[in-house]
Structure 1
Amino acid sequence: MTDTVVEHWIAGAAWRGASDRTTPVYNPALGTVARQVRLASPADVDHAVAAASTAFESWGGASVAKRTAVMFAFRELLNARKDELAAIITAEHGKVLSDALGEIARGLEVVELACGVGALTKGEYTENASTGVDVYTVRQPLGVVGIISPFNFPAMVPLWFFAVAIAAGNTVVLKPSEKDPSAANWMAELFREAGLPDGVFNVVHGDKESVDALLQHPDIRSISFVGSTPIAQYVYENGTRAGKRVQAFGGAKNHMLVLPDADLDLAADACVNAGFGSAGERCMAISVVLAVDAVADELVTKVTERMATLRTGDGTRGCDMGPLITAQHRDKVAGYIERAPGDGATVVVDGRDVAADGAAEGFWLGPTLIDRVPVTSPVYADEIFGPVLSIVRVDGYEHGVDIINSSPYGNGTAIFTNDGGAARRFQNEVTVGMVGINVPIPVPVAYHSFGGFKASHFGDVKAYGAHGFAFFTQEKAVTSRWLDPSHGGLNLGFPQHD
C-alpha cells in the first residue's frame, strides 16, 4: 500500500483540504494499489467554488484574444506532452497506450475548436430594426460551472467540457472519477503552464458526497455529467431542481445491424474494433450485433477468427486490449458470461479463459463472443460495459430496426450495408442520436455535437460543437437607440415599432 496521495487542485496548486477520507487507486494491470486519492468534503467543495468565483471576476471579462492565446498555448503543450498523459491513463485505467493516445487526440480536437471561440460566441446585429433602433445579441459566460467525468475517459471527456467552458469565459470545478484521478491534476498543471490564471480551473476529488455538494452549491451555474443512466438521471433531476443548467449523458446499448449485402470482412473488423477497444468500457462501444440470418453464421466465423489474434495484457507491453478498471467490475462482467447459457445463448469465445500477458493479479477478462442471445436476457438488455459482444439474429432490416427502436437507450448505432437506400432509411428511421453508416463508432467530430436520445441523454443540449458553446454561455439581447438633437417631448403610449 503506497503512501502517495492525489490531492485536490485549487487556485493553481495542490491542496490537501479538510477531509481525511481517502480511497485506493489501483493499477488494473498489476492488481495492486498504486496510490490513494483524497475524497472531498462539502467544505472542500466550497473552497474550490470560492476560488473559482474569485477567478471569474477577472477571467469572465478577459478579452477573447487573451482567452484564445491561453487555449492555443494549452493545445501546443498537450500535443507535445501527450505521451506523458497517455502513460498516466494506462497506469490508472488500464487501456493500452495506443488507445490512451487516441482518447487524447479526440480531446485535442475540442481544444482546437475552442481556439476559435471568437467566431463561435459572436452575436448577431440588426441595424434599424425600427427607425433609429438597432437590436443585437451578445453571448456572455455563466460563471462557475461544475463538471463530473467518468473513469473510462479520464482525459477526453473532461476536455470536451472544460475546453469549451474556459474558452467561453467561465471558471471550472472538475470532479473526475476517483478510480483514475491523476490525469485531471496533470491537465490542471499544464493549464497553469499555458498561462491560465489561478482559480480558473480547479479539481476536487471525491465520491457521492462531493457530487451532491456540487449539485446543491448555490454558486455553481451548470453541471456537465457523463456516467451510467441511473446516476445521470439523478444528476439531472437534482441539478435542475437546484436551478442549474444540466447536461447529463447516460449509458448505452449500441446496436450494429449487418445486412446481407454488407462487406462482411469490413463488418467483422468493425465488430472486433468497436466491441473490444478499451475492453468495451466505452459508452459508444458496439455491444450488440444484429446479424441477418442469411449471413449470421459467416459473420460469427469471421469475428471469431479475428478475436483469436487479439492479445490481452498490460497496456505498456503492446497488447491489443488491457484489463478492466477494478476486480469488482471484472467479476460483474464475468457474471453475465456465466448466466448466458441458462438464458439460451451460446458462448462462442469465453474471455474468462484468457491467458493475459501481465501480472496474474491483474483484473483480466478477455474478449467474449456470445451468439444467439435472446432479447429477453440481461446479457442483451443490460449495459455490461465490458468486452462482451452479443450476436442477436434477425430476419431482416425491419426486424433489426424494431429491436433498436425498442431499446430504452439511444446513444449510438450503426448499419453495415452497400445499399444506399437501406442506409438512408436507417438514418431516418432509428431513434438514436448518433448514427454510423459503415462506421461502427459514430462519435461526431468536434465542430458537430455529441449526444444521444432516450435514456442515454438527459437535457436538451449536447456536448461540444455549437451546442457546447450555447450551453456554457447565456445570450443577451440589446435594443439600442441613440437620440439625435431634434428629439423631444413626452408620450405615455405603449412603445410601437415604426
Structure 2
Amino acid sequence: MNTVGHLINGEVVLESKRTQDVFNPATGQVARQVALASSQTVEHAIATAEAAFPAWRDTPPIKRARIMFRFKELLEQNADAICKLIGEEHGKISHDAAGELQRGIENVEYACGIAELLKGEHSKNVGPNIDAWSEFQPLGVVAGITPFNFPVMVPLWMIPVAIAAGNCFILKPSERDPSSTLFIAQLLQEAGLPKGVLNVVNGDKEAVDILLRDTRIQAVSFVGSTPVAEYIYATATATAHGKRCQALGGAKNHAIVMPDADIDNAVNQLLGAAFGSSGERCMALSVAVAVGDAAADALIGKMKEAMKNLKVGAYTDSKNDFGPVITRQHQQKVVGYINSAEQQGATVVVDGREPNVAGYEEGFFVGGTLIDRVTPDMQSYKEEIFGPVLQVVRVNSMQEAMALIDKHEYGNGTCIFTRDGEAARYFSDNIKVGMVGINVPLPVPVAYHSFGGWKRSLFGDLHAYGPDGVRFYTRRKTVTQRWPSSGVREGVEFSMPTMK
C-alpha cells in the first residue's frame, strides 16, 4: 500500500517503523498509510532547517518573494490534483476544496509583498548626526502544527509568511489527511525554494512534543482543539523552552437572528455556514440565537423546508453540498451529541443520524441536523460538536442573546442578521468575540487582515497570518547610529544620554 512519507532537505523520506492508516471517509476504506516520524527523524529535520537558515536569512526579500510568485502559479496549475487529494482523505466536496485552496493562495499572494512588509521605520537626526531605524529580522527555525479540517489552507496560513520573512519551517500536518499537504510542500520546492528551508514531518504526539521542547525551534503555531491548544501553549512557552507560541483552539459560533432580519436570506446563509464542510470548521455557525418566538418559528419552518434539498455524498460528485466527517469515531461522537440534546429535552426537527447515501453505506456520513429549543445547560450547547448540526436557542431580547454569547467559554466568531444599523453597530462594538460578521455568517478575515478569536479560542498575543503573522515570525531590532565628524573627540558622559 502507498505510504505517505516526510519531506526533509528537499527529498521524500519513507520511514516505516510506525505507520497509521489514512481513510477515505466516503467509503470507510483505507486509502493509504502515513509514516509516523521517530524522534530521530524529527531531530534530523530540525538540524536540516538549522543548517539552511543562515543562507536563507541572508537571501534578499525580493528573491524570496519571487519564489512565492512561482509557488502561487504552481498551486493554480495543480488545483485539480490538490482538490482531489483533499477529497480522497478529508471527504470535502470538490467545490469546497477549491474554496479552501483559493483562501490559501490568497495568503501566498500576501507573502509576495514581503519586501514591503519587512520595511522598518527610519528617523534621521534624532540627535546631532545621529540616525535611528528599526528592522524586522527572522527568528530562525519555526514550526507549525496543523489540523485535519483544512489540510491545505491552514499550512498556507503559516508557511508563506514565515519563510518569506527569512525563517526555516518545520511542518507537522495532520496524520489523518497528509497527502495534499505534502504535495503543496513539494510544489514549493519546485518553485525554487532551497533545500532544507521547508521540512514536513508526519507524526503523532511524539513528533509534536519534540517540536515543543527542542530549543532550536524558536516559535510554534498551532490550530486545533482547545484542550490540545492549551497543552501546546503551556508546553511551548514554559520557562525551560521559552518559545513564541500562537495556539488557535475551538469554537462555538453563534448567529443572532433579529426579528427584523431577512429570514430567507438568513436561512440561505445559515445552510452554508452550518453544514458546509460537514460543519468541520472552527468558524462554522453551530448555534442560531433567535430573538423572539416569532423569529424562531419562522426560522425553524424555513430551515426545515430548505434542508429537504441538502445533498450529502462523496467528493466525486460536485452537486453534493457536503461530504462525510473525518473518521468513524468522530461520526459516532457527533451522533452522540444529537442523542444527548434529545435526551435533555431539545427537539430534533431534522434528523441526520442515519443518512442514506447510496453506494457509500460504509462512509462516515452524518446528515444535516436541526435541533430546536436548545438551552445553555445542555452538553450539546456547551461543547464544540464539529459536525453538520445547527442548534436553535430562543431568547427574548438582543441583550439576552449577547449575554449568552459573552458567557460562553469560546469567542472565535459570531454574526448578527438584522436590517437595523444601530443594533448592528452596538453588537459589533460590544460583543466579546474576536471575529464578527454583520449579515456575514463566516467572517473569516481576508489574507491582509489577521485571523483569531478571544477567550479560550486563542492562546497567545498575536493572531494568525496577515500583519500579525509577519510580527509573529519576526523580531524587531532598533539601531541607533552616529558617525562623529572627523577629528572630533567626545567627552565622558555619566548621565543618562539625551538628545541635546
Same fold (TM over 0.5): yes
CA distance in structure 1 between the partners assigned to 2:445 and 2:473 by the alignment: 19
The answer on 1:5 being equivalent to 2:7 is: no
| Aligned partner of residue 295 in structure 1, secondary structure | helix
CA distance in structure 2 between the partners assigned to 1:146 and 1:193 by the alignment: 21
CA distance in structure 2 between the partners assigned to 1:444 and 1:480 by the alignment: 39
Give the aligned partner of residue 64 of structure 2. 67
CA distance in structure 2 between the partners assigned to 1:208 and 1:225 by the alignment: 13
Give the aligned partner of residue 278 of structure 2. 279
Alpha-carbon contact 2:74-2:187 (below 8 Å) kept: yes
1:372-428, Cα deviation, whole Å (9 max, x unpaired) = 011100111110000111000111101100100000000000000000000000001
1:179-200, Cα deviation, whole Å (9 max, x unpaired) = 0001121011101110001111
Q: Tell me by how many angstroms 1:493 deviates.
A: 2.2
Give the aligned partner of residue 163 of structure 2. 166
From 125, 141, 145, the equivalent of 1:144 is: 141
What letter is aligned with 1:106?
A: R
Equivalent positions of 1:117-196 (< 5 A) are 117-196=114-193
Give the aligned partner of residue 322 of structure 1. 323
CA distance in structure 2 between the partners assigned to 1:434 and 1:96 by the alignment: 26
Give the aligned partner of residue 496 of structure 1. 498
1:121-152, Cα deviation, whole Å (9 max, x unpaired) = 11000100111111100111111100000000
Q: Tell me by how many angstroms 1:80 deviates.
A: 1.6
Q: Tell me by how many angstroms 1:486 deviates.
A: 3.5
User: Cα distance 1:125–1:489, how it changes in 2: closer, same or farther (>3 A)?
Assistant: closer
Give the aligned partner of residue 405 of structure 2. 404
Give the aligned partner of residue 93 of structure 2. 96
Alpha-carbon contact 2:226-2:249 (below 8 Å) kept: yes
What letter is aligned with 1:442?
A: P
Moved more, 351-360 or 313-322: 351-360
What letter is aligned with 2:175?
A: E
Q: Tell me by how many angstroms 1:496 deviates.
A: 2.9
CA distance in structure 2 between the partners assigned to 1:471 and 1:489 by the alignment: 40
Give the aligned partner of residue 300 of structure 1. 300
1:58-113, Cα deviation, whole Å (9 max, x unpaired) = 11110012101100000111112111101100100001010000000001111000
Q: Tell me by how many angstroms 1:16 deviates.
A: 2.3
TM-score with structure 1 length normalisation? 0.98
Give the aligned partner of residue 16 of structure 1. 14
| Aligned partner of residue 448 in structure 1, secondary structure | coil
Matched residues, percent identical? 53
What letter is aligned with 2:8?
A: I
Equivalent positions of 1:377-416 (< 5 A) are 377-416=378-417
CA distance in structure 2 between the partners assigned to 1:358 and 1:110 by the alignment: 38
1:188-221, Cα deviation, whole Å (9 max, x unpaired) = 1101110001111110000111110100011000
Give the aligned partner of residue 313 of structure 1. 313
What letter is aligned with 1:39?
A: L
The answer on 1:207 being equivalent to 2:204 is: yes
Alpha-carbon contact 1:314-1:358 (below 8 Å) kept: no
Give the aligned partner of residue 470 of structure 2. 469
CA distance in structure 2 between the partners assigned to 1:91 and 1:72 by the alignment: 28
Moved more, 204-213 or 484-493: 484-493
| Aligned partner of residue 29 in structure 1, secondary structure | coil
| Aligned partner of residue 317 in structure 1, secondary structure | coil
Give the aligned partner of residue 255 of structure 1. 254
CA distance in structure 2 between the partners assigned to 1:446 and 1:207 by the alignment: 29
Alpha-carbon contact 1:29-1:358 (below 8 Å) kept: no
CA distance in structure 2 between the partners assigned to 1:358 and 1:240 by the alignment: 49
Query: How many residues get paired?
Result: 495
| Aligned partner of residue 316 in structure 2, secondary structure | helix
CA distance in structure 2 between the partners assigned to 1:243 and 1:408 by the alignment: 27
User: Cα distance 1:171–1:358, how it changes in 2: closer, same or farther (>3 A)?
Assistant: farther
Alpha-carbon contact 1:312-1:357 (below 8 Å) kept: no
Q: In angstroms, what is the RMSD of aligned CA positions? A: 0.9
| Aligned partner of residue 351 in structure 1, secondary structure | coil
Q: Tell me by how many angstroms 1:357 deviates.
A: 4.2
Alpha-carbon contact 2:334-2:385 (below 8 Å) kept: yes
Q: Tell me by how many angstroms 1:42 deviates.
A: 1.5
Alpha-carbon contact 1:311-1:356 (below 8 Å) kept: no
Give the aligned partner of residue 431 of structure 2. 430
What letter is aligned with 2:230?
A: Q
CA distance in structure 2 between the partners assigned to 1:467 and 1:340 by the alignment: 39
Q: Tell me by how many angstroms 1:492 deviates.
A: 4.0
Give the aligned partner of residue 364 of structure 1. 365
Segments of structure 2 that go 5 or more residues without pairing to the other structure are: none
CA distance in structure 2 between the partners assigned to 1:489 and 1:314 by the alignment: 78
1:456-496, Cα deviation, whole Å (9 max, x unpaired) = 00000001111000000011000000111141143142333
